[in-house]
Structure 1
Amino acid sequence: MNSSGTTASAELGLRLVVPDRTAVPLVARLDYTADDPYAIKVAFHTGEDEPVEWIFARELLTVGIVRPVGEGDVKVWPARGESERTINIALSSPFGQAEFDAPVAPLAEFLHRTYEIVPAGQEGDYIDLDSEIERHLYS
């Protein structure tokens, strides 16, 4: 895991759950920055030239460790009955659906680091709302 005062990144081993087949191991890169304090960028390395990138709400991944959360395109929930604690992540887009499972320990360690960078409830202190509104209105 790499981190600085305003960013954190980590590689997370996970498995693509394929119906009626064994799970396929993958690596995902997680990136967090205080400049976008509510979000975590996850790049799934699928063997293609470019990774598949998704943006997750930090809170969604945090809550998903302990209980089911999410609607629509992203759902996260803790796995039951595993010897190693894992989290399930289901993604849906117009291009298809995918379900992954990942070990909780390295994900929790990464999330802990993000909360050291920007504590829960203080995300708004890291956003210049006026410039964000201006950027979206005039771009």
Structure 2
Amino acid sequence: MTSCVDHMLDMELASPLGERILVPTHLLYRSQDPLAVQLLFQDGLQGLIPWIFARDLLAAGTQALSGDGDVQVWPDRSGSEALLHLLLSSPHGSAHLTASLPAIEQWLHRTYQLVPAARETQALDLETHLAQFLDGAT
């Protein structure tokens, strides 16, 4: 049985010219893939743009700079006005987004209620992932 925790929020994209552009974002966590979180960015031209990365990277990034590759996350300030910075890099370019840190923390808390960190590997459906991998190899 798959359960999910999702949340919609607007993130702000910092443009190269310094403009702030609102980006509707769908945060998605599925118990069938307990180690990962998905951020689905709504782009008017391309539709949904997915980014999938480790849930523990996002959780660590709510406390301090986290990540050293394609995804870097860090907090800014505290309280209700606190922001979470998300720097995404790909061969096609990079994007610097910000979101409400309290909103992200509340959503993450709900994901850990669904699948606690200590139970992630137990919730991982390795048989299904292996079958999907082997089906793709033929």
- TM-score relative to the length of structure 2: 0.87
Q: Does 2:118 align with 1:121?
A: yes
Stretches of structure 2 that go unaligned for 5 or more consecutive residues are: none
Match of 1:33 among 24, 30, 33: 30
Higher helix proportion: 2
- Tell me the percent identity: 35
Q: Deviations over 1:2-38 (max 9, x none)?
A: xxx8211101211001234221111100111100001
Cα distance in 1 for partners of 2:13, 2:53 equals 17
Residue matched to 1:86: 83
Q: Does 2:56 align with 1:59?
A: yes
- In structure 2, relative to structure 1, the CA distance for the partners of 1:9 and 1:81 (3 Å cut) is closer
Cα distance in 1 for partners of 2:54, 2:68 equals 12
Stretches of structure 1 that go unaligned for 5 or more consecutive residues are: none
1:97-112 alignment to 2 at 5 Å? 97-112=94-109
- In structure 2, relative to structure 1, the CA distance for the partners of 1:81 and 1:23 (3 Å cut) is farther
Q: Shift of residue 87 of structure 1?
A: 0.7
C-alpha contact 1:12 1:107 (8 A) present in aligned 2: no
Residue matched to 1:73: 70
Number of equivalences: 135
